[in-house]
Each structure stands twice: as structure tokens, then as C-alpha cells.
């Protein structure tokens, strides 16, 4: 893309240098983490090109904590949350976008409250509720507060409102009921928005930490983030190479998915942000 | 469809989401207010009405004031810097810098990582004597310093981590906005003889205002919502120098199990988030956008 105000000559050199300095600064922590994880401990802060590569740190980390179980828990959590969100959010957004019923405005305002008052800050009361419900220390308890997502309802309502009424009416003439119209007309047309929402949701819940830390207490329910923290905090004797390997291990699926589907990720985050 | 069936369909489809929202957002927010006027239940003794005692305790609690001050400094230190960097990054990767794709990747990657992983990596950076920061500084002859262990630098260290993690996230919103600005504007401005800086200040920046507002609100929320790195890197220490409001709530609620006082603290946090919401509405009312 050439632009009349694109930098030229000296300005361009300065700009390139600036952009890359910042880029390297941004890459440095990750590069360092990779170096440490893939080299023996004695090379963790000695940067010599002849340092031998090893996967030992990963093997040791994997053996030292039940990461396999944590992986299963996180995958279960993320799938469960996303599945429930897609159903709940779709129905609610459809109701707000296409049905006239008393209290719609107030109810929508009440939904939007969650954009500011997120479950993340209501930890004390939600802990009490989970205790009352007998759900403490379960994967369901981690996901439950996030399943009705105001953000998702808002996003899909906007999308559904943009669907031409004619398509809706045509389907009804064909004899479709409201739910069939939703399934055959609205959902297919909103597919890119669903993809965007799914990516944002999965990365949010893969990475979520404080609430799972509070509500879980056992290997059976802990997600990766909490497992990683328990692992790196309990054994002070463990060396950094292993902790760094564990850190990379727990983020690997997300990081690999991101590198493979970079464009979709960036576009999804963009789409999700533009209201 | 008759009106009555419209109503019925609307309500029924809303019901599952509304029930969960009520149970995990509206009820806990209201219950927080209620419980902030009660004492903490101990054993079989339920909490009793204590009026404003919890708030009195809050006013007299120097650690609360410190956590609040820390959080405000943290917000002040991270928000403007990460927004400025985000804008700069977006301008760069939107232009014709060599290696644009790679740069965009470099800027954005920290966003995908969990804060807890990021904190682990940076924890190693800051390790006294052994960490990279120390190695680099000692190469320049600086004496060793316990970055996370001393009161003067610990909060700053956390801010660096937050900026590193968030700037790339905000960048993509600016990037999207920049790409939607018509190139004709620049051509017209160039014909008028406007300088590059003048064009940015008078045309681009005002056009980016809605994006800036969106990013700003998100940044404010994140500054008060995300304390994962505090848990991993400092646990609020040394001497509460890095205790942020939510972290303090977590400590009071789940280390000291004082749920009544935690409720009063949560009310302060909710008030701050509410103010952010009001500010957003106020700005939107005043039409900070040009479409």
C-alpha cells in the first residue's frame, strides 16, 4: 500500500529502525523462554551457539505434574463454556433482535451490565453461591458464571439485526417456525461472527486464572493455568528451565493454533472489538 | 404471529441466558452490597447487621488505601503508554515497513498467551543476579538490584509486563480503524500542502477517536480486572507495594476469609467500574465519532 504520507528517505530509515527495535523487544521474552526451555539448565543464561538442544526439560515437567489431566480439564472447560455460550447467546440475541416483547429495553440494559461487572470481580459472592449449589471444585463451577455472555449477546444481536427482513419472511412463507428460521437463515449468515466469537472465547477461557484458582482445589478440576501456577509455586527447588518448559507446554496448543490461523485470529479480535 | 406468541417466544428464548445472568451477575452484585452491611458469618453464627462498620474499617485501613493508590498508579502508568504504543505499532504495520507481517506477529503474540505464562517468563527475567535484566545491566556495570523485591521498582516491573501484553491487543483495533480511513483524505490533505504531522494530528487522530475511546474503556477495565501477574510474581509484596484492589479483595476474601470486609472492598471496585461506564456513556453522548 503506497500512501502519500508514507515515510520517505531518512524518515523511513528511522521508522523502520524504530518498528524493528520495538518488534525485537516484543519478541525477546519469548525467544528467551524458548532458549531456556530447549537447552540444558547450565545454558539457561549463557548464550552460546554450540549449546546442545534438548527436550529433557519438557519430559521432566511433564513427569513432575499431572499436566495430561490439566490438559483434559482445560479442553473440557473450554468446550463446555463455548458450547453453552453459543446456544444461550444465539437464543437471547435472536429474541432481542427480532421479537417485540414487554421489557425488552430494560432487559437488554440489564444484560449490558455484565460488560462492566464481570464475573471476574464478583469472586467472593460467586464462591458463596457455588458452595451453596454444591459445585465447588468442579469444572462446571469454573465455567458457569461465564456461560451467559453479555458480550456475545451484544455481538450477535448486532449481526442478526443486519439480516434482511425479506430472507426471514421468505423462510416463514415456506412454513418455517421461528426456531427453524433462526437455524436456517440467521445462524448460517452469522458464521464469521460465530468464528470470531469462538476464538475470543476459547482464548479467554484457556487463559483465565483467578476464578479457577479460587474455585478449584484438586487435580481433577484444575485447568492448565492453575496447574502451572501450583507446579511453579510449590517446588521452589525446581529450576527455571523446567518451569519455562512447562509454561511453553501449557500455552503450546493456543500458540500453535494462533501461528497457523494468524489471519483469522487477528480478524476475529478485530471483528469482536468493533461495536 | 400474534402478539402474544411474539411475547412468549421472546421471553422463552431469553430465559436461559437471563437466568444465568441473574444468578451470576445481578444477584452477586446486589448481594455484595447487602453483605457489606453485615458482619462476616463465623461457623454457625450468621452475619449480623453492622451498618457502615465495614466501610469504617475500610477508611481506617492503610493497606486498602495503598492498594487503591497502587491501582491508580498502575492504571496511570500502563494505560496511556500501552495506547500510545498501540497507535505507533498500528501506524507502522499499516505503512510500508519491511517485514510488516512478521512485525505484526511479534506485536500481537503476547496477547494470545495467558497472563500467568507471561508472568512466569518475566519472573525469570527479573530474578536477581541470574535473570536477563540483571545480566544485561551488569554488562553495563550496574550493580545488582532485586527488581521485584524492592518497594521502589516492583510495581513498575508489573506495569512493564502489562504494557508488553496489552499493547498488541489494542494495536489491532487501531489497525482496523486505520484501514477504514479513505486514502482520498490523505491525497486531499497533501494537495493542500499539509505536513505529515499536521495530517496525523488534524485528520487521522480525530478519526480514530471512537477507537481510542473503545480501547481506553477496555484498558481501564483490564487495569482493575486482571491481577494474575500479581499472584504469580509478587503476591502483593514487598510490603503491599504491588497489591492491586482485586488482589487485595482476593487476599481478604480467600486468605483471611473475611467475606464482609471483602464485600465492602468489592463495592469500591464496582463503583470504579461503574464510573468508567458512566464516563463512556458521557463521551458517546458528546459524539466522539465522525460517522
| pLDDT tens track, chain A, 275 positions | 446 677 667 778 888 888 899 999 898 888 888 888 888 877 766 777 777 788 888 888 888 888 899 999 999 999 999 999 999 999 999 999 999 888 899 999 999 888 888 888 999 999 999 999 999 999 999 999 999 999 899 889 988 998 898 888 888 888 888 899 999 899 999 888 888 888 888 888 999 999 999 999 898 999 999 998 888 876 555 677 888 888 888 888 888 888 888 777 777 777 666 54
B179-to-B90, B133, B176, B207, B284 alpha-carbon distances in Å: 10, 37, 5, 12, 22
Q: What is the per-residue DSSP string for A253-265? A: HHHHHHHHTHHHH
Per-residue pLDDT tens over the stretch B243-252? 999 999 999 9
Q: Which domains does chain A have, with CATH numbers?
A: 9-54 (no CATH), 61-273 (1.10.3720.10)
Mean of the per-residue pLDDT values of chain B: 86
Residue of B20, B27, B108 with shortest CB distance to A266: B108
pLDDT of residue A234: 67
pLDDT of residue A251: 87
| A119 in reach of chain B (CB within 8 A) | yes
3-state secondary structure B199-211: HHHHHHHHHCHHH
| A251 in reach of chain B (CB within 8 A) | yes
Mean pLDDT comparison of A76-85, B96-105, B131-140, highest-scoring range: A76-85
Are B214 and A273 an interchain contact pair (Cβ–Cβ within 8 Å)? yes
| B127 in reach of chain A (CB within 8 A) | yes
Are A247 and B117 an interchain contact pair (Cβ–Cβ within 8 Å)? yes
Per-residue pLDDT tens over the stretch B189-199? 888 888 888 88
Confidence band (pLDDT; 50, 70, 90) for B15? very high
| A207 in reach of chain B (CB within 8 A) | yes
Residue of A19, A95, A148 with shortest CB distance to B20: A148
Mean of the pLDDT values across residues B207-231? 88
Mutate to test the interface with A, among B113, B137, B276 (most CBs of A within 10 A): B113
pLDDT of residue A236: 52
Are B107 and A23 an interchain contact pair (Cβ–Cβ within 8 Å)? yes
Residue of B3, B23, B130 with shortest CB distance to A129: B23
Question: Which residues of chain A does B9 touch, with a Cβ-Cβ cutoff of 8 Å?
Answer: 95, 99, 101, 178
Are B17 and A270 an interchain contact pair (Cβ–Cβ within 8 Å)? no
| Cis before B238? omega within 30 | yes
Residue of A117, A203, A255 with shortest CB distance to B29: A117
Q: Least CA distance to B232: which residue of chain A?
A: A229
Q: How many CB pairs under 8 A join A and B?
A: 285
Phi and psi torsions of B42, nearest 5°: -120, 120
Q: Which of residues 92-121 of B touch A (CB under 8 A)?
A: 92-99, 102-118, 120-121
Confidence band (pLDDT; 50, 70, 90) for B33? very high
Name the CA dihedral angle for B50, B52, B55, B56, rounded to a multiple of 10 degrees.
-90
Mutate to test the interface with A, among B24, B101, B181, B191 (most CBs of A within 10 A): B24
The pTM (predicted TM-score) of the whole model is 0.89
pLDDT of residue B291: 41
Are B253 and A127 an interchain contact pair (Cβ–Cβ within 8 Å)? yes
Confidence band (pLDDT; 50, 70, 90) for B45? confident
Distance CA A251, CA B54 (A): 41
> Which of A253, A245, A250 is closest to A59 using CA atoms?
A245
Per-residue pLDDT tens over the stretch B137-187? 777 777 777 778 888 888 999 999 999 999 988 888 888 888 888 888 888
Question: Which residues of chain A does B245 touch, with a Cβ-Cβ cutoff of 8 Å?
Answer: none
Q: How far is A54 from chain B (nearest CA, A)?
A: 19
Distance CA A74, CA A254 (A): 12
Asked if B168 and B219 count as a contact pair (C-beta separation under 8 A), the reply is: no
Distance CA A271, CA A192 (A): 9
Question: Which residues of chain B does A147 touch, with a Cβ-Cβ cutoff of 8 Å?
Answer: 20
| A111 in reach of chain B (CB within 8 A) | yes
Asked if A237 and A248 count as a contact pair (C-beta separation under 8 A), the reply is: no
| A225 in reach of chain B (CB within 8 A) | yes
Residue of A120, A124, A244 with shortest CB distance to B262: A124
Question: Which residues of chain B does A126 touch, with a Cβ-Cβ cutoff of 8 Å?
Answer: 24, 28
Q: Which domains does chain B have, with CATH numbers?
A: 48-285 (1.10.3720.10)
Amino acid at each position: 500500500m503506497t500512501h502519500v504520507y508514507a515515510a520517505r528517505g531518512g524518515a523511513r530509515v528511522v521508522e523502520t529502525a524504530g518498528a524493528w527495535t520495538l518488534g525485537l523487544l516484543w519478541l525477546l521474552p519469548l525467544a528467551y523462554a524458548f532458549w531456556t526451555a530447549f537447552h540444558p539448565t547450565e545454558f539457561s543464561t549463557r548464550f552460546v551457539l554450540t549449546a546442545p538442544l534438548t527436550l529433557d526439560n519438557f519430559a521432566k515437567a511433564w513427569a513432575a505434574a499431572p499436566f495430561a489431566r490439566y490438559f483434559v480439564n482445560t479442553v473440557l472447560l473450554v468446550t463446555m463454556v463455548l458450547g453453552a455460550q453459543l446456544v444461550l447467546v444465539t437464543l437471547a440475541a435472536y429474541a432481542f433482535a427480532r421479537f417485540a416483547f414487554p421489557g425488552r429495553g430494560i432487559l437488554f440494559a440489564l444484560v449490558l451490565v455484565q460488560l462492566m461487572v464481570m464475573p471476574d470481580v464478583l469472586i467472593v459472592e460467586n464462591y458463596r453461591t457455588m458452595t451453596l449449589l454444591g459445585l465447588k471444585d468442579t469444572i462446571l463451577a469454573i465455567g458457569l458464571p461465564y456461560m451467559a455472555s453479555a458480550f456475545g449477546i451484544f455481538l450477535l444481536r448486532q449481526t442478526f439485526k443486519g439480516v434482511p427482513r425479506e430472507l426471514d419472511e421468505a423462510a416463514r412463507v415456506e412454513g418455517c417456525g421461528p426456531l427453524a428460521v433462526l437455524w436456517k437463515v440467521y445462524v448460517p449468515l452469522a458464521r464469521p461472527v460465530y468464528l470470531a466469537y469462538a476464538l475470543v472465547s476459547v482464548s479467554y477461557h484457556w487463559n483465565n486464572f483467578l476464578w479457577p484458582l479460587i474455585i478449584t482445589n484438586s487435580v481433577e478440576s484444575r485447568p492448565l493455568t492453575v496447574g502451572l501456577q501450583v507446579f511453579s509455586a510449590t517446588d521452589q527447588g525446581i529450576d527455571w528451565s523446567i518451569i519455562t518448559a512447562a509454561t511453553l507446554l501449557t500455552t503450546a496448543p493456543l500458540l500453535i493454533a494462533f501461528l497457523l490461523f494468524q489471519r483469522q485470529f487477528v480478524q476475529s479480535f478485530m471483528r469482536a472489538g468493533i461495536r | 404471529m400474534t402478539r402474544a406468541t411474539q411475547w412468549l417466544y421472546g421471553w422463552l428464548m431469553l430465559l436461559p441466558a437471563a437466568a444465568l445472568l441473574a444468578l451470576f451477575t445481578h444477584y452477586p452484585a446486589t448481594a455484595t452490597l447487602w453483605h457489606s452491611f453485615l458482619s462476616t458469618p463465623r461457623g454457625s453464627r450468621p452475619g449480623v447487621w453492622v451498618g457502615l462498620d465495614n466501610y469504617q474499617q475500610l477508611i481506617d485501613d492503610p493497606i486498602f488505601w495503598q492498594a487503591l493508590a497502587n491501582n491508580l498508579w498502575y492504571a496511570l502508568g500502563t494505560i496511556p503508554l500501552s495506547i500510545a504504543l498501540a497507535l505507533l505499532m498500528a501506524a507502522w504495520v499499516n505503512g510500508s515497513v519491511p517485514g510488516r507481517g512478521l512485525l505484526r506477529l511479534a506485536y500481537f503474540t503476547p496477547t494470545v498467551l495467558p497472563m500467568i505464562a507471561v508472568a512466569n517468563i518475566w519472573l525469570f527475567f527479573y530474578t536477581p543476579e541470574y535473570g536477563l535484566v540483571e545480566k544485561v545491566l551488569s554488562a553495563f556495570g550496574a550493580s545488582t538490584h532485586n527488581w521485584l523485591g524492592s518497594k521502589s521498582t516492583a510495581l513498575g516491573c508489573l506495569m512493564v509486563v502489562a504494557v508488553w501484553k496489552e499493547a498488541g491487543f489494542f494495536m489491532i483495533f487501531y489497525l482496523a480503524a486505520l484501514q477504514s480511513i479513505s486514502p482520498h483524505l490523505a491525497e486531499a490533505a497533501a494537495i493542500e500542502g499539509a505536513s505529515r504531522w499536521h495530517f496525523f494530528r488534524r485528520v487521522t487522530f480525530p478519526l480514530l477517536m471512537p477507537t481510542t475511546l473503545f480501547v481506553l474503556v477496555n484498558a481501564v477495565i483490564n487495569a482493575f480486572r486482571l491481577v494474575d501477574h500479581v499472584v504469580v510474581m509478587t503476591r502483593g509484596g514487598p510490603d503491599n507495594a504491588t497489591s492491586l484492589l482485586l488482589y487485595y479483595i482476593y487476599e481478604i476474601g480467600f486468605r483471611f476469609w473475611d467475606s464482609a470486609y471483602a464485600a465492602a472492598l468489592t463495592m469500591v471496585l464496582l463503583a470504579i467500574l461503574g464510573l468508567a461506564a458512566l464516563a463512556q456513556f458521557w463521551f458517546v453522548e458528546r459524539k466522539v465519532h465522525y460517522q
